[in-house]
Amino acid sequence: MTAPFSAQEAAALAAVDEAAIGGTLLELLAVPSVTGSAAESELQHRLARRLDRLGLEVDLWPMDLPALRADPGFPGTEAPREEAWGLVATTPGGGDGPTMILQGHVDVVPPGDPAQWEGDPFVPRVVGDTVHGRGACDMKAGLAANLAALAAICASGARLRGRVAAHFVVGEEDGGLGAFGTLRRGWTGDTCVITEPTGGTLVTANAGALTFRIEIPGKASHASVRDAGVSAIDAYLPVHRALARLEERRNADPDPLFGEYRIPWALSVGTLRSGDWASSVPGLLVAEGRMGVRLGERPERARADLERCVAETCAEDPWLRAHPAVVTWPGGQFASGRLPAGHPLRDLVGDAHADVTGEPPPRERGAPYGSDLRLYSAAGVPTLQYGPGDVRLAHGPREQVSLSETVDVARTLVVAALRSVGTR
């Protein structure tokens, strides 16, 4: 049997506008807010106007990119950008109660090959209860749920002891610039729920992810006398095999929160670039990829692990011994992060979900990818992820989300927020 709702909770739940959630999601999906693009900034300004109409106290500011990049803790970026906007909105008033943050990122990854999509990726399609489009689950449905929860709390007239805050951020997909800049501006809270897609679970821990680049030298020559040169592609092959062995070793004993994943700390080469002429032996190969960081592992230790692997491989190879590969670390640098074991935020959100849906509390698990969770956790804000959608559909041409699940998440956020910050 679910717990009875208080009068304040019942009033706020009654104010959740299900039709408006669908409309908001379609509006958000129609903005092609690819990481680093002008549309990313456009969406931040649109959201700021929405939050202002709700009567929230809104802080919309241009981030000082040179200062953030010079910060020793800067998480890195991959997409070029000329600007970044921060956006925080808080419920007005409040007293001595805590602050709960509802956080989400506005940026999406590029759509990829348009031929693999059924229609334009940025023209959302609704089929029954399902909404299709780039960013549907990662994570504009989460943004829509956050907005709906805030709107319902404001419309209900609830008198809060504390505050509910929205942190809408840019640049999550390539490192976490937006969350980093928001925290550096001084915006913080007592707890944080990030509405990333969690598929009906509570994600209380994230693996980390580091972008690496390996440059393999060769010796260019005419292809007709290839024995006069050394192919950088051939020279790379032993390094590739060594990386596979490194991945196997690093995944030998995963944390129990990651036990459902065959490879929780994946190490993958995503791009290979070599050669500039078909009739030439290539003199350079550049491999770029992503290295998973184990839960609780410091990123510098993970980097040292890969660098040592490459160095040992070079030492065993006659060509690479004299012409060693060079490893660098451009792009996003995600540490791991977790909600402290036993923290009440897990049960708060889990119980709210159970009370709203009539289902058992969601199970707890870790996620094998990096997210803004680790930045909030590192700043001392206990954080978990709970949101609509299945992450397995993110970043692909079948990206979609359930509207009814999005509504359930919005209603759960209403109850969790009111119980967290308290009412008077």
342-398 pLDDT per residue, tens: 999 999 999 999 999 999 999 999 999 989 999 999 999 999 999 999 999 999 999
Q: Which residues contact 365 (CB under 8 A, 6 or more apart)?
A: 201, 202, 203, 204, 257, 258, 260
Amino acid at 367: A
Please give the mean pLDDT across all residues of the chain: 96
* 117-127 residues labelled b (16+ CB within 10 A) or e (exposed): beeebbebbee
∠ CA 263-266-271, nearest 5°, is: 140
One DSSP character per residue, 338-353 reads EPPTT-HHHHHHHHHH
Active-site residue identified among 107, 138, 288, 372? 107
Question: Quick one: what percent of the chain has pLDDT higher than 90?
Answer: 95
Residues 54-83 have pLDDT tens digits of: 999 999 999 999 999 999 999 988 899 999
Residue 35 scores a pLDDT above 90: yes
CA–CA separation, 389 and 400 (whole Å)? 7
Residue 193 Cα distances to 14, 71, 97, 228, 385, angstroms = 22, 26, 17, 60, 6
Residue 1 scores a pLDDT above 60: no
Residue 2 scores a pLDDT above 60: no
Q: Is 141:389 a contact under the CB 8 Å cutoff?
A: yes
Amino acid at 269: V
Q: Residue ranges of the alpha helices (H) in 168-216?
A: 177-184
CA–CA separation, 330 and 211 (whole Å)? 6
pLDDT band at 109 (very low <50, low <70, confident <90, very high): very high
pLDDT band at 169 (very low <50, low <70, confident <90, very high): very high
Active site annotation includes 107? yes
**Residue 3's pLDDT is what?**
59
Residues 249-287 have pLDDT tens digits of: 999 999 999 999 999 999 999 999 999 999 999 999 999
Question: Which tokens belong to 424?
Answer: 């008077």
Q: Is 303:294 a contact under the CB 8 Å cutoff?
A: no
Active-site residue identified among 9, 173, 399, 408? 173
